[in-house]
């Protein structure tokens, strides 16, 4: 099989499965992501880390970081994720913490725990092993559940996971685009 044929085989499988594959310059890809975000549509983009980081830089303004409580996940919580959930610590993570009326808190640990339940350890491991691609979820619809009482938490949960060198691996954006509002 020629190299171009081996490249097209997985692309064809994705398209056959009802997915779209887009090849475009960086500005066009970032524009598609921002358009999706601005129109409130939901999508997951598998893009270059640079494209994903461009969007994250536009989205995470100092005001939004403060309003949402987006902060670096503590080393203690990262260690807990590694030891209790058996998910390797690949670098700095950022997350907000959502507090339930019962006092339970949903943060990075609970997000990874829910991801393991919903997707399995193989999928989580595959995402965290990415080096040449980043996953950027736009207006995700995943509910956060209180770890203590099981209540669906109405406040959103936001996250960003980075490799040790600062490369974005997995993140999300939801809501208006600060530069356009």
pLDDT digits (tens, 9 = 90+) for 111-165: 999 999 999 999 888 888 888 999 999 998 889 999 999 999 988 899 999 988 8
Contact 87, 77 (CB under 8 A): no
pTM of the model as a whole: 0.86
Average pLDDT, the chain: 90
CA distance 96 to 163: 19
Rounded percentage of the chain residues whose pLDDT exceeds 70: 95
pLDDT(5) > 70:
no
Count of CB atoms situated within 10 Å of the CB of 141: 7
Q: Which of 138, 106, 111 is nearest to 39 (CA)?
A: 138
Task: Give pLDDT, residue 180.
Answer: 54
pLDDT(96) > 80:
yes
- Grade residue 93 by pLDDT with cuts at 50, 70 and 90: very high
Number of domains the chain contains: 1
pLDDT digits (tens, 9 = 90+) for 72-81: 999 999 999 9
Task: Give pLDDT, residue 1.
Answer: 46
Identify the domain containing residue 121 by its residue range: 3-180
Task: Give pLDDT, residue 87.
Answer: 92
pLDDT digits (tens, 9 = 90+) for 62-73: 999 999 999 999
- Grade residue 178 by pLDDT with cuts at 50, 70 and 90: low
CA distance 130 to 134: 7
């Amino acid at each position: 099989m020629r190299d171009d044929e081996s490249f097209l085989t997985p692309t064809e499988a994705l398209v056959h499965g009802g997915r779209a594959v887009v090849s475009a310059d960086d500005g066009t890809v970032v524009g598609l992501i921002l358009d999706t975000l601005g129109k409130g549509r939901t999508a997951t983009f598998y893009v270059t880390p640079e494209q994903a980081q461009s969007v994250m830089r536009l989205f995470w303004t100092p005001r939004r970081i403060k309003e949402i409580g987006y902060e670096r996940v503590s080393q203690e919580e990262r260690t807990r994720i590694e030891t209790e959930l058996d998910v390797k610590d690949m670098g700095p993570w950022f997350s907000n913490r959502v507090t339930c009326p019962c006092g339970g808190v949903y943060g990075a640990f609970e997000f990874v725990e829910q991801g393991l339940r919903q997707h399995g350890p193989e999928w989580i491991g595959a995402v965290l092993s990415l080096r040449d691609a980043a996953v950027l979820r736009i207006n995700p619809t995943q509910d956060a559940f209180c770890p203590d009482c099981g209540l669906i938490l109405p406040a959103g949960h936001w996250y960003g996971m980075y490799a040790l060198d600062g490369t974005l691996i997995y993140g999300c954006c939801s809501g208006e685009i600060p530069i356009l509002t």
